[in-house]
Amino acid sequence: MKYINKRLTMEKVNFQRIAKKFGTPFYCYSYSKLKENVSNFKKNFKSFSPLICFAVKSNTNVNLIREIKKFGLGADVVSLGELMMAIKAGIKPNKIVFSGVGKTSSELNFAINKKILLINAESLSEIMEINRLAKLKNKKVRVGVRLNPNTDAKTLNQISTGKKENKFGVNKNTFHKIVDFCKSSKNIDLKCLSVHIGSQILDHRPYGKMLKAVSHILDKTNHQFEFIDLGGGMGINYSDKNKELNYKKYNTAINNFLKKHKVKIIFEPGRSIIGNTGILISKVIYIKDSGRKKFIILDAAMNDLMRPALYGAFHMTLPVIKSSKISNKPYEFVGPICESTDKFITLKKFQKLEENDLIAICDVGAYGMSLSSNYNLRPKPIELLIKGSKINVIRKRQKYTEII
Ligand SMILES: *Cc1c(COP(=O)(O)O)cnc(C)c1O
Centre of ligand 1 to C-alpha 298, Å, is 30
Decide whether any atom of ligand 1 lies within 6 Å of the 196 Cβ.
yes
Q: Average pLDDT over the chain, rounded to whole?
A: 97
Decide whether any atom of ligand 1 lies within 6 Å of the 169 Cβ.
no
Q: How confident is the model at residue 161 (pLDDT cuts 50, 70, 90)?
A: confident
**Span 63-80, pLDDT tens digits:** 999 999 999 999 999 999
Q: How confident is the model at residue 388 (pLDDT cuts 50, 70, 90)?
A: very high
Q: Which of 28, 53, 182, 338 is catalytic?
A: 338
Tell me: pLDDT of 24 over 80: yes
Decide whether any atom of ligand 1 lies within 6 Å of the 199 Cβ.
yes
Centre of ligand 1 to C-alpha 158, Å, is 13
Tell me: pLDDT of 242 over 80: no
- List the domain boundaries for the chain: 2-29+275-403, 31-272
Q: How far is CA 220 from CA 172, 189, 214, in A?
A: 10, 19, 10
**Span 314-327, pLDDT tens digits:** 999 999 999 999 99
Q: How confident is the model at residue 241 (pLDDT cuts 50, 70, 90)?
A: confident
Decide whether any atom of ligand 1 lies within 6 Å of the 232 Cβ.
yes
Please tell me the predicted confidence (pLDDT) of residue 153.
Answer: 84
Tell me: pLDDT of 154 over 90: no
Residue 200 CA to residue 196 CA, distance in Å, equals: 12
3-state secondary structure labels for all residues of 313-356: CCCCEEECECCCCECCCCEEEECCCCCCCCEEEEECCCECCCCC
As a dihedral over the C-alpha atoms of residue 396, residue 381, residue 385, residue 352, rounded to 10 degrees, the angle is: 150
Q: Say whether 338 is catalytic.
A: yes
304, amino acid identity: D
Please tell me the predicted confidence (pLDDT) of residue 316.
Answer: 97
Centre of ligand 1 to C-alpha 129, Å, is 24
Cβ proximity of 300 and 390 under 8 Å = no
Q: Is 398 helix (H, G, I), strand (E, B) or coil?
A: coil
Q: Does domain 31-272 have CATH number 3.20.20.10?
A: yes
Decide whether any atom of ligand 1 lies within 6 Å of the 365 Cβ.
no
3-state secondary structure labels for all residues of 188-230: EEEEEEECCCECCECCCHHHHHHHHHHHHHHHCCCCCCCEEEC
Best substitution site from 41, 57, 229 to test ligand 1's pocket, by max atoms within 8 Å of Cβ?
57
Tell me: pLDDT of 173 over 90: yes
Q: What angle do CA 216, 264, 219 make, to 5 degrees?
A: 15
Please tell me the predicted confidence (pLDDT) of residue 399.
Answer: 98
Cβ proximity of 50 and 95 under 8 Å = no
Tell me: pLDDT of 240 over 80: no
Please tell me the predicted confidence (pLDDT) of residue 203.
Answer: 95
> What φ, ψ does residue 170 adopt, rounded to 5°?
-125, 155
Please tell me the predicted confidence (pLDDT) of residue 248.
Answer: 98
Q: Look at ligand 1, atom 8, and give the residue with the nearest C-alpha.
A: 270
Centre of ligand 1 to C-alpha 148, Å, is 14
| Right CATH for 2-29+275-403 from 2.60.120.340, 2.60.120.40, 2.40.37.10, 3.60.70.12 | 2.40.37.10
Residue 61 CA to residue 306 CA, distance in Å, equals: 17
Mean pLDDT of the 358-385 span: 98
